Amino acid sequence: MAIMLKRMTLIIPNLIGVIIVTFLLTRALPGDPAAYFAGPAATKESVEQIRKSLGLDKPLIVQFGSYVSELAHGNLGTSLTTGQPVLTEIKNRLPASAELTLFGLILSIVIAVPLGILAAVKQGSWIDHTCRIVATAGVSLPVFFTGLLLVYVFYYILGWSPAPLGRLDVFASAPTQITGFYLIDSLVTGNWSAFRSSLNQLLLPGLTLCIFSLAPIARMTRASMLTVLSSEFIRTARASGLDSRTVIITYAFRNAMLPVVTTLGMVFSFLLGANVLVEKVFAWPGIGSYAVEALISSDFAPVQGFVLTMAILYVALNLLIDLLYGVIDPRVRLEA
Amino acid sequence: MTEITTIAPAPVATAATPASAPAPKVENNSIFRHALYVVSENPVTGLSFGLFLLIALCALFGPYIVPFDPLASDTAAALSPPSWKHWFGTDQLGRDIFSRVIVATRLDFIIAITSVALVFALGGFAGIAAGFFLGWTDRIVGRISDTIMAFPLFVLAMGIVAALGNTVTNIVIATAIINFPLYVRVARAEANVRREAGFVQAARLSGNSDFRILFGHILPNIMPIMMVQISLTMGYAILNAAGLSFIGLGVRAPTPEWGIMVAEGAANIISGEWWIALFPGLALMIAVFTFNLLGDGLRDLVDPQRRT
């Protein structure tokens, strides 16, 4: 509990930095924001009036104060195109993005970690070479390009996948909302047709994100396993006659996990960005495509809300990773 | 690649990594020989140098050698698959994709180079200053890069471009800003190691000012490692810029650019016209791949200890 509090206080400067940066981004709007919000047909007086009502005539520090208090009340502004409060829209769309990102990440961990372990255990074998090729290719592939390739192969040529248009095919209806994750909701309510439909839609975008994040995880697992496997305690364990399965899984892997978990933080940073591109390719109704639509129509409130939400999510994820350290390695707990 | 580690590094190798020793004067001739050695030992690095030359040539001479005008549309030949006349096929307006892919090299290259040069100047300087002066400088630089790192990087780039305005210049600036922490980290660590090195102390004792030591003594010494960083981030800069233009930021429609060309072809993928998106995507992939391999190769060149 004490560590948790300590870690919590550590993220506060980060959060303050994030809020200052997003505030500066709102004030750096090209041209005069008041004239922008007033529209092209506005007179001089109405622009002045809007400037007053937006508080843009006050000093920057006062503006920052009111920005923070708006945030504290959960007010992220209103989208100009849809007329909806940004917070509501983000709340409605977040589960779609989260489901996609987590699905991709879990898929990636399930493939990359065993691949990395095998590559380290059988160094120089074909598994090792596969691992290296996957790692190099994965880093160089633009994520939107991978997505399009998968669509072409699995939708157009093979016809295995449904059209890349959203979370459900046109005939299925959404499961009753519980968590907002269609896979979980449909399982809980026993809605098999919705489950199958949403899984089908999720597979390709999930696979795209998986391929994207495979490389760093596999590479780090391999490197960290190699370091651990060459250490003394592994030799001792082997010499004591433990079977190699116990040595690799219980002894080596547990010790090799820490750097892998550290890499997860970086992977998340890339994943949250890649998510935007994947959502655009697959017309996925998440917060990424919401932000992209807003960007194209120069509707800034949703973009700022999106950047802020992503940053806060990312800070929270890093906190979670910090806490995971303590679970994996008790020494970290003692130091804290 | 395991065979490389077993071979003893070339004699110059130890001289090329001044960890704490004063920078020895390495003759150009032996650097060249060492480069040849690394290239011949690792054919992949050789390949990446070759690809790099090809990309550089396309960027320099692309617009003069392509068979078609990249902007000229020919609606009669729209959406034709790859053929002898149009090597990569044509898009929905009948523009030749081969010409567009080649011509686009220059723009993508310029975006990546300028953003990397910008971040090298800013991040590199801030980093060595932080590592050398420590104290307040270090704390301020560290806080700035921590704040940048607190954002998912691509998302921050989107936000910056949205706030500053939707232009190519702002894509360059955004790409530079999100790479800032990487440069700071490397430059800071390298400068900090050399802070108390013998040659720095000698320079200080002979009455050099702090800035002279920074630019005349420390910067030249960390240049090789910064070059590796530049090559590795070039690939990332290209990906980032292409990603931004894929979602419709920065580069505007008729201009040939890889990211936007993939975006234009995205709609046609579902109807089976694969060539519109495939070729610019492949060009993008090859470019990023080249810079990543080149970075690894350069690292072998300047830092044999970290050879994989």
pLDDT of residue B265: 78
CB A289, CB A283: distance < 8 Å: yes
Taking the Cβ of residue A20 and every Cβ of chain B, the question of whether any pair is shorter than 8 Å is answered with yes
CB A93, CB A290: distance < 8 Å: yes
> Per-domain residue ranges for chain A?
16-72, 92-335
Measured between CA atoms, the residue of chain B closest to residue A28 is: B163
Distance from CA of B267 to the nearest CA of A (A): 9
AA identity, residue A236: T
pLDDT of residue B21: 42
pLDDT of residue B27: 53
Going by C-beta distance under 8 Å and a sequence separation of 6 or more, which residues neighbour residue A80? A297, A299, A301
AA identity, residue A280: K
| pLDDT bracket for residue A38 (50, 70, 90) | low
Question: Which of A106, A87, A89 has its CA nearest to residue A312?
Answer: A87
Question: Which of B131, B48, B120 has its CA nearest to residue B301?
Answer: B48
Grouped pLDDT means (10 residues each) for chain B, 308 residues: 38 40 52 68 72 83 74 70 72 77 84 90 87 84 85 86 83 90 86 82 84 83 81 85 85 81 80 79 86 76 57
Q: What b/e string do you get for B18-50 counting C-beta neighbours within 10 Å, with b at 16 or more?
A: beeebbeeeeeeeeeebbebbbebbeebbbbbe
Query: Is the pLDDT at A335 greater than 80, yes or no?
Result: no
Distance from CA of B165 to the nearest CA of A (A): 6
**∠ Cα B152 B157 B161 (to 5°):** 150
Which chain A positions have a beta carbon within 8 Å of B269's beta carbon?
Answer: 148, 151-152, 156
Question: Which of B66, B78, B50, B72 has its CA nearest to residue B105?
Answer: B66
Q: Distance between CA B28 and CA B15 in Å, rounded?
A: 12
Q: Which of B147, B159, B270 sits opposite A307 (nearest CB)?
A: B159
Q: Which domains does chain B have, with CATH numbers?
A: 41-60+92-306 (1.10.3720.10)
Query: Is the pLDDT at A301 greater than 60, yes or no?
Result: yes
Distance from CA of B222 to the nearest CA of A (A): 25
pLDDT of residue B23: 44
Q: Distance between CA A216 and CA A220 in Å, rounded?
A: 6
ipTM greater than cut 0.90: no
How many beta-carbon contacts under 8 Å exist across A and B?
Answer: 155
Distance from CA of A176 to the nearest CA of B (A): 31
Q: Distance between CA B297 and CA B303 in Å, rounded?
A: 10
CB B225, CB B211: distance < 8 Å: no
Taking the Cβ of residue A210 and every Cβ of chain B, the question of whether any pair is shorter than 8 Å is answered with no
Which chain A positions have a beta carbon within 8 Å of B243's beta carbon?
Answer: 142-144, 273, 277
Q: Which of A17, A149, A268 sits opposite B150 (nearest CB)?
A: A17
Taking the Cβ of residue B139 and every Cβ of chain A, the question of whether any pair is shorter than 8 Å is answered with no
Query: Is the pLDDT at A180 greater than 50, yes or no?
Result: yes
Domain A92-335 class in CATH:
mainly alpha
Question: Quick check: B146 and A140 CB within 8 A?
Answer: no
**Mean pLDDT, range A32-45, rounded to an integer:** 66
pLDDT of residue A334: 58
Q: Distance between CA B106 and CA B89 in Å, rounded?
A: 21
Taking the Cβ of residue B140 and every Cβ of chain A, the question of whether any pair is shorter than 8 Å is answered with no
Q: What is the pLDDT of residues A83-120, one digit of tens each?
A: 788 888 888 888 888 888 888 889 988 988 888 888 88
Interface test with A, best of B1, B5, B247 (most A CBs within 10 A): B247
pLDDT of residue B306: 53
Taking the Cβ of residue B292 and every Cβ of chain A, the question of whether any pair is shorter than 8 Å is answered with yes
By the 10 Å C-beta count (0-12 exposed, 13-18 middle, 19+ buried), B2 is classed as: exposed
Q: Which of A270, A271, A314 sits opposite B151 (nearest CB)?
A: A314
Measured between CA atoms, the residue of chain B closest to residue A150 is: B269
Query: Is the pLDDT at A244 greater than 60, yes or no?
Result: yes
Question: Quick check: B154 and A272 CB within 8 A?
Answer: yes
DSSP H helices in A28-85: 33-38, 44-54, 60-72
Distance from CA of B73 to the nearest CA of A (A): 25
Measured between CA atoms, the residue of chain B closest to residue A270 is: B152
Q: Distance between CA B52 and CA A22 in Å, rounded?
A: 38
Question: Quick check: B270 and A306 CB within 8 A?
Answer: no
The alpha-carbon radius of gyration of chain A (Å, integer) is: 24
Mean model confidence pLDDT for chain A = 79
Measured between CA atoms, the residue of chain B closest to residue A315 is: B150
